[in-house]
Amino acid sequence: MIIMVFAALICFEASKLRFGTPRQPGPAFLPLGYGILLFLIAAIFVIRSGMRKGTSGDPAGVLWHSLAWQRVPITLAALLVYALLLERLGYPFCTWVLMALLFWGKGVRRRSIAIIGGLVVSIVSYILFNDLLKVRLPSGWFGI
């Protein structure tokens, strides 16, 4: 239900922008489309979970029971530090460190795999956004 409210808020805010056409989309085209899609997926999830028979106890309790809550504040802190250091240290380095930490926190047993995986994600996303999509990303001290 919360996701449905969030999706409705996305659609409402996107409706304030120019929609455009499929050939020449405006700034509201993607947010409105994603908001509608998110709302529909959330509605299907709510309907399916309401129709499920044989569930005992609190269905919300079952949903949240196995969640590792200690990872949530660590992830939020990592994202905050990432946002604060992005301009100074640059996109490639900050993304590499963030992705390595997220991979390692997700359960990758070997640190070398997390470090290499973070490096691969950082390089591929930098090439995708900077070179192919021509999005200017902060280069930081390294000037990459």
Domain boundaries defined on the chain = 2-65, 71-142
pLDDT band for 67, please (50, 70, 90 cuts): low
48: tokens are 């399916």
Q: How much is the average pLDDT of 66-89?
A: 84
Q: Which pLDDT score, from 0 to 100, does residue 119 have?
A: 92
How many Å is the maximal CA-CA distance in the chain? 59
Q: What is d(CA 119, CA 100) in angstroms, rounded to the nearest whole number?
A: 8
Q: What is d(CA 141, CA 69) in angstroms, rounded to the nearest whole number?
A: 35
Does residue 55 surpass a pLDDT of 80? no
- pLDDT, tens digit (0-9, with 9 covering 90-100), for 4-54: 888 889 888 888 888 888 788 888 888 888 999 999 998 888 888 777 655
- pLDDT, tens digit (0-9, with 9 covering 90-100), for 92-121: 999 999 999 988 877 777 888 889 999 999
Give 82's Cβ-side CA count (13 Å radius): 18
The CA-to-CA distance between both ends of the chain, in Å, stands at 44
Q: Which pLDDT score, from 0 to 100, does residue 24 have?
A: 84
Question: With a threshold of 0.75, does the pTM exceed it?
Answer: no
